[in-house]
Structure 1
Amino acid sequence: MKLLACPACGATVYFNNSLCTACGAEIGFAPGAMAMVAPGPDGSATVQGRRWRKCTHYAQLMGCNWMVEGEDAGLTQPFCVSCRLNRTVPDLSQPWNRTLWKRLEEEKRRLIYAALRLGLPVAPMADGPGGLAFDFLADVAPSFSETGRVMTGHAEGLITINIAEADPVARERMRAQMAEPYRTILGHLRHESGHYYWDRLVRGTALLGPFRALFGDDSADYNAALAQHYANGPPPDWPQHHVSAYAAAHPWEDWAESWNHYLLMLDTLETAWAFGLGLDPGATAARALAADPARDPYRPTDFDTLVAQWLPLTVAINALNASMGHEPAYPFALGAVALRKLAFVHAVVRGTPPPEPGGYP
């Protein structure tokens, strides 16, 4: 995630800030400009001839810090490009639900930020066929393991998230039960968005053949494949072919996990770039990377360049965590086939030819 500047004083502010801690100015993120603006007493701002107004969830509930642009700002109850995607939110009269919902929305805005930077479609389902929507739902019973559980997943453009995923205790309990090395809200959102974008970008296109050559036959019985995975686990050699054990369950899950991983790479690389972290272990302070816009991972670039930046960064991240007495922050090892699948995702997103069959160069 990029660093941002307070429009009032120029101090560094962060993606989820609604106040500048340096000068106290109220601020909001304008997604059309990828910058912060400072709304006035009426909740609106005009910057370079463009009008912005607070999202309704910002103005009324402080559950958002995004702004609405242009003609949309004249609507009676405008919602930002992220909040417009919500079909269902939990009962916000319940204080704990509101806490969980705010956490979910913070992570969803990171996903939508990435989609906007990549030029991916983010039209609401309510606007017509092919759109995207989110249901944030609570279990009927208070536990993941009891009946009445909401299943996180995707179906025909609708992403459903169990709000208990925003409870760190419940999420960690589920991670342990599933023997997962890694489980986050943002990971769920990225993964489920992968299913949505597979439908939009791969299904029924000329990319389907190359997809099947690399990921496998997506027409294989999905429910049977998942039942097989949960009954017997992944094949022993899954690390040689997939980014995660769950990716081995079915080609759709392989794509969604690869998509998730690709977005994780871009977001983390952008954060490192924004902070001027050297992605080359031999770099000196004089070769700081923050001033080099070519290092922005969202700019058009080849996949090999991203990998050359990514692998040493993951080593550094894990070394930093070890120094602090924590488990690895990045518990993955990318083999040649997994890298080819990530390169395929990169090609789909960038509109470039997919990689040829064979090992990763």
Structure 2
Amino acid sequence: MKTGTCRCGRRIFFNNHSCLACEAILGRCDECRSLTSFTSHGEHAECDVCHTSVHACENQNFHVCRSYVSDADKLCQWCQFTAVTPDTSIPQQVSQWATMESAKRRLLLELHRLSLPPYVDNLTESHPLSFLFLADTVDEQGNEKRIITGHDQGVITINLAEADSVHRERTRVELGEPQRTLIGHMRHEVGHYIDWAWAMQVDPEGYHALFGDPQAIDYSQAMDHHYQNGAPENWAENHVSAYATMHPWEDFAETANLYLDIMAIATTANDQDRAHFDLSPQADMPKLVNEILQIVVEASEYNCDLGLAPLLPEQLPPAVIEKLAYVHSLRRHDTAPA
């Protein structure tokens, strides 16, 4: 994640709220898109980069956002993507919502910097993206309504329970998932969105050659087969995860998830002056992956020192790198299909 600079010269990290050195208020300006400090003028503030008069995003009232916008009582560009929010009368749900929004902001910022959907051509209008953050409920008869995390035609629904680290770790162990994080969920589901809104629109032949034809395989049957029989023994030769073997849609989503993981690590490495990776759409993806994996190996050793899981797989087979290159190639398309 790229960092910003306070007016006092100190570095600002993405979730900083105030500068520890000069106590300036910090956030992101919707006008110039800078992570910076702001000068307060009572009911409004001034961005210390573009000097625009701005107001706190309306969701700052719930302490779930740190963005500033040009108009009072408005949502910032990131909060506008959330179509349904939790019950603000329940403190626990507000806390979980804040965790959700933090991960979502990181995701949207990365998609914007990589020029991936929804930040391609007119996809915000033709294939809009939105998020629903919902909690399980129980009706008057005691029947539980469980919220299933998933994607459906541009709508990403995430169960608020995923913001609970205890629930997430328990589920990770039950399902045998090496990594299960909130932003990982969002990257996976946005992978489905990129599939639906863009990949199958601009290069279906390349998609079919690598992932298969999703319309030729019944998803419900594929899901039942996967949970009854598990993944093939040789799944790691062609897939990034066992779950990716279930169906072409899941294969693409898991691959897109890993691609976004890799690009996020590369962006942070560049910002911290640990590397100078070429992250442009023209970058050589196999070369970039191999370079990033060197950092992954080092970081994974740090994690092991603390008893934590490896950062990412330390080695990827050629078939997976080819799939990553396909996701990377989607950034080269400049126009949406007619």
Change (3 A) 1:332 1:160: farther
Are residues 1:95 and 2:107 paired?
no
Q: Which residue of 1 aligns with 2:3?
A: 3
Q: Following TM superposition, by how much is the alpha carbon of 1:93 offset from its aligned partner in structure 2, in angstroms? A: 1.4
Q: Which residue of 2 aligns with 1:116?
A: 112
Give the RMSD, CA atoms, in angstroms. Answer: 2.3
Corresponding letter in the other structure for 2:45: S
Q: Which residue of 2 aligns with 1:307?
A: 289
Q: Which residue of 2 aligns with 1:106?
A: 102
Q: Following TM superposition, by how much is the alpha carbon of 1:121 offset from its aligned partner in structure 2, in angstroms? A: 4.1
Q: Please list the CA deviations of residues 219-240 of structure 1 after superposition, one character each: whole Å capped at 9, or x if unmatched.
A: 1211111111111111111100
Q: Which residue of 2 aligns with 1:33?
A: 33
Residues in 2 aligned to 1:45 and 1:305: alpha-carbon distance in whole angstroms: 43
Corresponding letter in the other structure for 2:218: D
Q: Following TM superposition, by how much is the alpha carbon of 1:79 offset from its aligned partner in structure 2, in angstroms? A: 0.9
Corresponding letter in the other structure for 2:40: G
Q: Following TM superposition, by how much is the alpha carbon of 1:298 offset from its aligned partner in structure 2, in angstroms? A: 5.5
Q: Please list the CA deviations of residues 189-213 of structure 1 after superposition, one character each: whole Å capped at 9, or x if unmatched.
A: 01101111112212233x0011101
TM-score between both structures, scaled by the size of structure 1: 0.83
Match of 1:326 among 287, 299, 308: 308
Q: Which residue of 2 aligns with 1:202?
A: 199
Q: Following TM superposition, by how much is the alpha carbon of 1:332 offset from its aligned partner in structure 2, in angstroms? A: 5.7
For residues 159-308 of structure 1, the aligned pairs below 5 Å read: 159-205=156-202, 207-219=203-215, 220-277=217-274, 289=275, 294-295=276-277, 297=279, 300-308=282-290
Q: Which runs of 5+ in 1 are unaligned?
A: 278-288, 353-361
Give the length in aligned residue pairs: 324
8 Å CA contact 2:54–2:68 kept in 1: the answer is yes
Corresponding letter in the other structure for 1:215: F
Residues in 1 aligned to 2:281 and 2:38: alpha-carbon distance in whole angstroms: 27
Q: Following TM superposition, by how much is the alpha carbon of 1:39 offset from its aligned partner in structure 2, in angstroms? A: 4.5
Residues in 2 aligned to 1:152 and 1:267: alpha-carbon distance in whole angstroms: 23
Corresponding letter in the other structure for 1:297: L
Residues in 2 aligned to 1:28 and 1:78: alpha-carbon distance in whole angstroms: 16
More displaced 10-residue stretch of structure 1: 302-311 or 89-98: 302-311
Q: Which residue of 1 aligns with 2:82?
A: 86
For residues 37-48 of structure 1, the aligned pairs below 5 Å read: 37-41=37-41, 42-46=43-47, 47-48=49-50
Secondary structure of the residue that 1:16 maps to in structure 2? coil
Residues in 2 aligned to 1:153 and 1:64: alpha-carbon distance in whole angstroms: 24
Residues in 1 aligned to 2:286 and 2:184: alpha-carbon distance in whole angstroms: 23
Change (3 A) 1:311 1:106: same
For residues 59-70 of structure 1, the aligned pairs below 5 Å read: 60-68=61-69
Change (3 A) 1:121 1:39: farther
Residues in 2 aligned to 1:308 and 1:318: alpha-carbon distance in whole angstroms: 15
More displaced 10-residue stretch of structure 1: 34-43 or 268-277: 34-43
Q: Which residue of 1 aligns with 2:57?
A: 55
For residues 4-19 of structure 1, the aligned pairs below 5 Å read: 4-6=4-6, 8-19=7-18
Residues in 2 aligned to 1:261 and 1:271: alpha-carbon distance in whole angstroms: 15
Q: Please list the CA deviations of residues 69-112 of structure 1 after superposition, one character each: whole Å capped at 9, or x if unmatched.
A: xxxx23x4211111001111111211111111111110000000
8 Å CA contact 2:12–2:35 kept in 1: the answer is no
Residues in 1 aligned to 2:53 and 2:116: alpha-carbon distance in whole angstroms: 24
Secondary structure of the residue that 1:154 maps to in structure 2? strand
8 Å CA contact 2:44–2:53 kept in 1: the answer is no
8 Å CA contact 1:5–1:36 kept in 2: the answer is yes
Residues in 2 aligned to 1:77 and 1:108: alpha-carbon distance in whole angstroms: 21
Corresponding letter in the other structure for 1:189: M
